[in-house]
Amino acid sequence: MEFIIADIKPQKITRGDQVHICTQGSSHPIGASRVNGGINFCLYSRSATAVDLLLYNSADDVEPSEVIRLDKRFNKTYHYWHIHVQGLRAGQLYAYRVHGVYNPSRGMRHDPSKALLDPYSHGVAFPAKYDRQRWCEFGVSPGAMMKSVVVDLSAYDWEGDAPLRNSFANTVIYELHVAGFTKNPNSGVAAEKRGTYAGLIEKIPYLIDLGITAVELLPVFQFEPKVDEAGNPNYWGYSPISFFAPHWHYSTEQEPIAAINEFRDMVKAMHRAGIEVILDVVYNHTDEGNAEGPTFCYKGIDNDAYYILDDDMSRYANFSGTGNTLNANFSTVRRMILDSLRFWVTEMHVDGFRFDLASILSRDELGKPIEQPPILWDIESDPYMAGTKLIAEAWDAAGLYQVGSFVGDSWREWNGKFRDHTRRFLKGDSNMLSKFVTRLVGSPDLYSLKNRQPDKSINFVTCHDGFTLNDLVSYNEKHNQDNGEQNSDGTKENHSWNCGIEGPGDDPEIEALRNRQVKNFLTVNVLALGAPMLLMGDEVRRTQLGNNNAYCHDSMLTWFDWSLLQKHGDVHRFLKLLIKTRLKRESSAGRGEMTLGELLKRGLITYHGIKLGAPDWSEESRSIAFTVLSLDGRTAMHYMINVYHEDLCFELPTSHKGHKIAWYRWLDTAADGEDDIRDFGQGPHYRPALYTVANRSIAILKADIVVR
């Protein structure tokens, strides 16, 4: 049945034994909001000629139970269409039908055959069956379709919880996939909780034990768990449908409203454990894809407002590599992004965001880079964002690369140069030593000259996109055949080395070398100046069998294999002690507190080669040593790094200002058993003036200098 609100007087809608009164409503807040005993609906569309509010009884409904036509004389203020329906409650399913011009050559794609999601919806309901292809055809009803859900955000007890606001100096980030972390049957998580927010809660003790202070969750914005033409699922989730709704497929009840509260339960539990929650967010494109893609929301509401279009306005700019690009610096889209961020901070208590392809947010409505992008400064200066961690993937898929120059004072950056130079040096490439050392001491070439602190750098060697750490030392080439793209997808620039054979093998010498290389990478990543980020499972040498683009595998290939914790317990222990030492504060009478990172940042560094004071910076050099002395002259660290294929003997400093230095060995990645790393301060004393560092290994000594 269709109702038209013809004047400003309240109108009655009868639904069974219920009567709902429709009134003019308000242009704010945008979205569906509980107010005055009902729901206020508000939608932005500057190009719509008419808007219908559609109400549904169930997710599988094809036709709405009610259609409420909004009268633009009374239910429209500026470009905002609004109406208040009294008596509706949380859980109500709804959508919009937006009428207007369909002329792709002018950037107009209104299609009243489609029921459209609310861009501000806090929940998205999926029908049991629907045909995605029908969403791509103009004028064709797609049948059962996704629907927005009214959510009561006030119905939750946070029990005093709030974001933690830890400093980056004391942060160790662990990138993980919500489902993949616990989905394996050997996870020890109950079957009904595997792959869910609730399942992740059960693994918090593991994260605490490892020393993790922040988890970075792969996308949890609602996405379509669709399969592509090859039958592959959308595992990573980098294809958002809504910027305000948590992915309900990660909830135990598989239901939109349950997802809100289960996500909150997870955040609250993480905070109680002292662990921050950072979201990997995608504000650069949507799941609607290119001109041949579906229309389920933004295209049908205001296409040329939400997207950057090509000169041929029927086509989409594709700086994201996924078919379309959000028009992030258009005023309405800027507001939506900012409102989304505020929602996740205020209503969901998250601690930070990692912005996927963040350089796209610095492009204007024509796609050209802007020196001072409005949306980035909006985020930077917004009071709701104060103290929130902001991390940029400072590049995009069209070649814009801004590592070291990303705008703003609060932003940190994924340091792609750290990843590449560390990989190449430890692999043994020539002409890499000086670049590697620059990354190790905080990338001053990127940050110091711009009056930025070294902790601007988020240091990582591996992430979800690319090889796992095990595969980085086990494969020379990518092996993505199972992705169905003839191994053409995924980067070819892996800077990997298989240590002698491609893939798994049983040669004990090769296995020992791989294990040593894994520990080398972990040592550099955790101890370098900047905030370290680690990939889920690298601590137990998780493998994807050489697949460096596993976006489409929701299987044992991508899930955490918990049996590896026993198989590679030595690597797990090694990383655990690395993190513990990085975060541990040294303290003694008369000495201020100082972490290893602070020692590297504020201490005095002297570089050496195998001879003291004689570093070899030549193109073919593959070794370096350096001593870091605290400003008070009482603590010294001596690093020796040898990526040469033969053992090297390094001279050690034996005194400082007339005071004898008594070294003890803290770490040696080539040592056997538990001698590879000790609790800080408990390693064996080392008295000789020379130290032999095995080929392709790292050794670190520590000394407390007693000044008498």
Tell me the mean pLDDT in the region 184-206. Answer: 98
- In angstroms, the CA 218 to CA 491 distance is 19
Catalytic residue numbers, as ranges: 356, 393
Interval 592-623: pLDDT, tens? 445 566 666 666 889 999 999 999 999 999 99
Contacts with 641 (C-beta within 8 Å, 6 or more apart), sequence order: 623, 624, 625, 693, 698
Split at pLDDT 50, 70, 90, the class of 52 is: very high
Q: Is the pLDDT of residue 229 over 70?
A: no
| Spatial distance between the Cα atoms of 349 and 23, rounded to a whole number of angstroms | 34
Give the tens place of pLDDT for each residue, 546-593: 999 999 999 999 999 999 999 999 999 999 999 999 987 533 333 444
Res. 87: pLDDT tops 50: yes
Q: Name the pLDDT band for 4 (thresholds 50, 70, 90).
A: very low
pTM: 0.95
Asked if 223 and 237 touch (Cβ cutoff 8 Å), the reply is yes
Round to whole Å and give the CA distance between 276 and 267: 8
| Band (2; pLDDT cuts 50, 70, 90) | very low
The DSSP code for 488 is -
End-to-end alpha carbon distance in the chain? 92
Closest to 27 (Cα-Cα) out of 72, 99, 78: 78
Give 497-520 pLDDT, tens digit per residue.
999 999 999 999 999 999 999 999
Q: Where are the alpha helices (DSSP H) in 489-537?
A: 508-527
Give the DSSP H/E element, type plus range, for residue 626.
strand 623-629
Q: Do the Cβ atoms of 474 and 187 come closer than 8 Å?
A: no
Sign of dihedral through CA atoms 217, 220, 225, 228? Answer: negative
Q: What is the pLDDT of residues 120-139, one digit of tens each?
A: 999 999 998 878 888 999 99
Residue 472 has pLDDT above 70, yes or no: yes
CA distance 137 to 111: 10
Region 151-162: mean pLDDT is: 95
Residue 603, classed as helix, strand or coil, is coil
Report, as an integer, the average pLDDT of 259-265.
97
Judged against a pLDDT cut of 90, whether residue 662 lies above it is answered with no
Rounded mean pLDDT, 403-415: 93
Query: In 3D, which of 67, 38, 40, 64 has the Cα closest to residue 52?
Result: 67
| Residue 327 reports pLDDT greater than 70 | yes
- For residue 95, what are its two tokens? 């959508």
Backbone angles phi, psi at 580, to 5 degrees: -55, -45
- More confident call, 586 vs 643: 643
User: Is the pLDDT score of 5 beyond 80?
Assistant: no
pLDDT of residue 587: 33
Burial of 450 (0-12, 13-18, 19+ CB in 10 A): exposed
pLDDT in tens, 56-75: 999 999 999 999 999 999 99
Query: Which DSSP letter does residue 233 get?
Result: B
Domains of the chain: 2-149 (2.60.40.10), 168-581 (3.20.20.80), 593-704 (2.60.40.1180)
pLDDT at residue 450 tops 70: no
Reply yes or no on whether the pLDDT at 531 is more than 90.
yes
In angstroms, rounded to a whole number, what is the distance separating the alpha carbons of residues 408 and 347? 25
Q: In 3D, which of 313, 147, 166 has the Cα closest to residue 245?
A: 147
The span from the CA of 98 to the CA of 100, in Å, is 7
